[in-house]
Chain A
Amino acid sequence: MIHKTLSALGAAAIALTLSTPATAAEGGPTIDMIKERGSLLCTGHNGSYLGFAEVDDDGAWSGFDIEMCKALATAILGSPDALQIIPVSWAQRFPALQSGDIDVIIKVTGWTMSRDTELGLQYSRPYFIGPTNIMTRADLGVSTPEDLEGGVFCINAGTSIERIVADYMGARDISYEALNFEKPEELRAALYAGRCDALAGFGPFLAATRFNAPNPDDFVILDAVLALEPEGIVAREGDDSFIDVINWMMSALLMAEEAGITMDNVDEIRANPPSSSIERLLGVSPGVGERLGLSDDWAYNMIKAVGNYGEIYERTVGDDSVYKLPRGANRLWKNGGLLYPLVLD
């Protein structure tokens, strides 16, 4: 069934590509569907995934992934409220996308070869670089992994983190002791009790663990990155114009940060654009919307609604949030990070 839907979609996409001129101003089938429905169906979580998709007592969603959903909804439909968050578990997200229950997966989904090639999915460029970090007790005065020589690492048993730590420490010839726990609860208890000097894991998980500690200030997350996992936004394979919109949405958020355009000063800058590329970005001169099948002020609306990439990061998982996750690889290229905007000509 899924396969049939998929091939039909694929065929539709191919037909669309063939029948339209190269400078198409049309949205793909997904965008048409979203526009017709008047709302974007985006992923939430079954419960709260701290920092990325959290739901409060009133059922209101917040978090980094949710902000990305809002940005996409604003880009396509002009309003961050034209959005429905559908709660899905980790395992449900791919079938839910294929069956059309959701339009897009924005749910810290690592870009792996098997998912990209075997599940009928198409990835956008990474919107978040997921680091494997080390969190350690502040009173140890440790600043690099080398300082943890001989220390005890608490690690979730049976995860890829076990191997990542072994490789990283082995390559640097730092001796350590791995204490592996099956359950996150026991892992946390051991860390809070001081049984281990450090906890290695996915950066956001560490940030949430620190936030939930009896005293969060007792723990610091080291800058060192043991491994990276690029997280992409996922759409159904074959709808290239939808992926284009997602990639340019991401690019606009980064370009805004690079140019210092924020939620607060976007009107000011639009009234008096410093360069021609910013003129194009904010829709002062035409082109940015037409080529994607969107309105020309989509980027302006989006920045007005959710801010630039840095603002979204700091608000949800970074320094302005409770998690204080260092930006690390998620900084702009000019600040030593891995993120960069594409060229808007």
Chain B
Amino acid sequence: MLKIWRNRTLRGTLIQGLVLLGTVALFASFVLTARENLVSQGIATGFGFLERSTGWPINFSLIEVSDRSPYSRMLLAGFLNTIYVGLLGLAAATLTGLVVGMMRISSNLVLNILGTIFVETFRNVPLILQVIFWYALLTHLPPPRGAIDLAGVGFLSNRGLMLPAPALSAMDLAILALGLLGVLFSARRMGGTRSGLTWVLGLGALAALFTVLLLTGRAPDMPLVSIPELRGLRFVGGLTVKPEFAALLIAIMMFGGAYVAEIVRGGFLSVDRGRLEAAKALGLSSWQIMRFVHIPLAIRAMLPALTNQYIWLMKATTLGVAIGYPDYFMVVSTSINQSGQTIELLLLLMGGFLAINYVIGGIMNTINARLAIKGRS
């Protein structure tokens, strides 16, 4: 017995095993206690409620939902809403951050000052205040009947921004997406010098095919572009950017952008001056130095900090609940109120965000590993 204890590897494994066992036992006892208490209070447990219809609708969804949809579908709609505003927010924040970050390191004094003001303003005001500020601004636009007319095809009102949209059915979009994938795939397979030609030919063929389909496959009087039109209390047709969505997106873009700008600035400043001078000494132009030396080195320094920032921003989408954007958090919280299945829904909420952020972290780590200078850890 003592001998086993003296063996370092064995001892390590034993301790780890015991800790693991203890943790599992602890969590199991939590679950069992909770379950027992719920049962004794006559509260139903389990995930059976996911099949029941909700009885309440939400006003924004990427998939078809109504008050007759089951909880599972409503939760999926909320989950997609979170991913939707989150991904667009990340992209917008990254672009904003890139521009502002470059302004911050620019030698142009005006740009420099503008960049500094942007960062200091949007980084130092709490995100929730920014969300409510943008929302108040957007909802104080004129009502639909007095909407600001944008050249007769678009309208801006406190119901959002209404824009003309191509009148494509889901089938049309699917054909388009499949076609593009096909072209991409064949271009990659052809590879080499002929890929350019394949691209042009492939896209041309797809465009021709799609046009024919579009013109023949629909009712003759159906317009190709749907233009928003005021009917009663609302605009019908076209595409609507709702104020709740827009306010959340703008807030994430500005707030996230300010942080990303600082990460970008830090990344660029972290590149050793000696390397840039060495590149210059080799006779590279300033664009070439930027493209082949400065940016690649700066990105390596930025990635770990960016990963954190992205994950943080993704979680910040939950602030949508304050302004009525039906994100995953809001749908879960309403479901808790309506169904009373608190523990199950909180588990789903945590699981959902864990999944989203795990994927983001995974992608960023993969990029990081690919970009890492070979031979370094």
Binding site for B on A (CB under 8 A): 140, 148-152, 157-159, 162-163, 166-167, 170, 177-183, 186, 189-190, 193-195, 197
Chain B contributes a number of interface residues (CB within 8 A of A) equal to 30
CA distance A148 to B261 in the complex (A): 46
Contacts A151-B233, A193-B158 hold; do A163 and B323 have CB atoms under 8 A apart?
A: no
Instruction: Flag if B59 contacts A179 (CB, 8 Å).
Output: yes
Query: Nearest Cβ in chain A — how far from B197, in angstroms?
Result: 49
Q: Does the CB pair B55–A167 fall under 8 Å?
A: yes
Q: How far is the CB of A137 from chain B (nearest CB, A)?
A: 8
Given contacts A170-B67, A179-B244, contact A193 B231 (CB under 8 A): no
Q: Which of A151, A167, A182, A195 contacts B139 (CB 8 A)?
A: A195
B321 within 8 A of A: yes
Q: Are A182 and B330 within 8 A (Cβ)?
A: yes
Q: Name the one of B57, B140, B333, B336 contacting A193, with C-beta atoms under 8 angstroms.
A: B140
CB pair B57 A152 closer than 8 Å: no
Residue of chain B at shortest CB distance from A153: B59
B234 to chain A, nearest CB (A): 4
**B186 interfacial contact with A, CB 8 Å:** no
Decide yes or no whether B322 CB sits under 8 A from chain A. yes
- The reply to whether A197 and B233 contact each other, CB–CB distance below 8 Å, is yes
Which of B56, B140, B232 has the most CB atoms of chain A within a 10 A radius of its CB?
B56
Contact B56 A178 (CB under 8 A): yes
Nearest CB of chain B from residue A317's CB, rounded to whole Å: 28
0/1 interface trace, chain B 322-359, chain A, CB 8 Å (1 if under):
11101000100110111000000000000000000000
Take A193-B158, A197-B233 as given contacts and tell me if A152 and B59 are in contact as well, using a CB distance cutoff of 8 Å. Answer: yes
If the complex has contacts A157-B330, A179-B244, A193-B139, are A166 and B55 also in contact, measured as CB distance less than 8 A? yes
Bound-state CA distance A150–B67 (Å) is: 16
B58 within 8 A of A: yes
A150 & B56 in contact (Cβ 8 Å cutoff): no
In this assembly, does B243 line the interface, its C-beta being within 8 Å of a C-beta of chain A?
A: yes
Q: Is the CB of B158 within 8 A of A178?
A: no
A-B contact count (CB 8 A): 85
Contact yes or no, A157 B334, CB < 8 A: yes
- B326 lies within 8 A of A150 (CB): no
**Residue from A149, A166, A195 in contact with B57 in the complex, judged by beta carbons closer than 8 Å:** A166
Task: Tell me, rounded to whole Å, the shortest Cβ–Cβ distance linking A227 to chain B.
Answer: 13
Q: Per-residue 0/1 for B295-324: is the Cβ within 8 Å of any A Cβ (1 yes, 0 no)?
A: 000000000000000000000000001111
Shortest distance from the beta carbon of B121 to any chain A beta carbon, whole Å: 24
Please determine whether B139 and A194 come into contact, CB atoms closer than 8 angstroms. Answer: yes
B179 at the interface (CB under 8 A from A): no
Q: Does B360 contact A (CB under 8 A)?
A: no
Q: Does B136 contact A (CB under 8 A)?
A: yes
Q: Which residues of the other chain, B, contact A178 by a CB distance below 8 angstroms?
A: 56-59
Min CB–CB distance B186 → chain A (angstroms): 44
CB distance from A106 to the nearest CB of B (A): 27
A189 proximity list for chain B (CB < 8 A): 136, 139
With A167-B67, A178-B58 already in contact, 15 other A-B pairs whose C-beta atoms are closer than 8 Å: A149-B232, A150-B236, A157-B333, A158-B333, A158-B338, A159-B337, A166-B67, A170-B67, A179-B244, A180-B59, A186-B324, A190-B324, A193-B136, A194-B139, A197-B233
**Minimum Cβ distance to chain B for residue A112 (Å):** 15
When distances are taken between beta carbons in the complex, the residues of chain B under 8 Å from A179 are 59, 244, 324
CA distance A170 to B54 in the complex (A): 14
Task: Known contacts A149-B233, A166-B67; decide if A181 and B143 are in contact (CB<8 Å).
Answer: no
Q: Which 6 A-B pairs have the closest CB atoms?
A: A158-B337, A162-B56, A166-B67, A193-B139, A163-B55, A151-B233
- Enumerate chain B residues within 8 angstroms of A177, measured Cβ to Cβ: 59, 234
Determine how close the nearest CB of chain B comes to the CB of A306; give it in whole angstroms.
Answer: 38
Q: Give chain B nearest CB distance to A52 CB in angstroms.
A: 24
20 intermolecular pairs with C-beta atoms under 8 Å apart: A140-B233, A151-B232, A151-B233, A152-B59, A152-B159, A158-B333, A159-B337, A162-B57, A166-B55, A166-B56, A166-B57, A166-B67, A167-B67, A177-B234, A180-B326, A182-B330, A186-B323, A190-B139, A193-B158, A195-B159
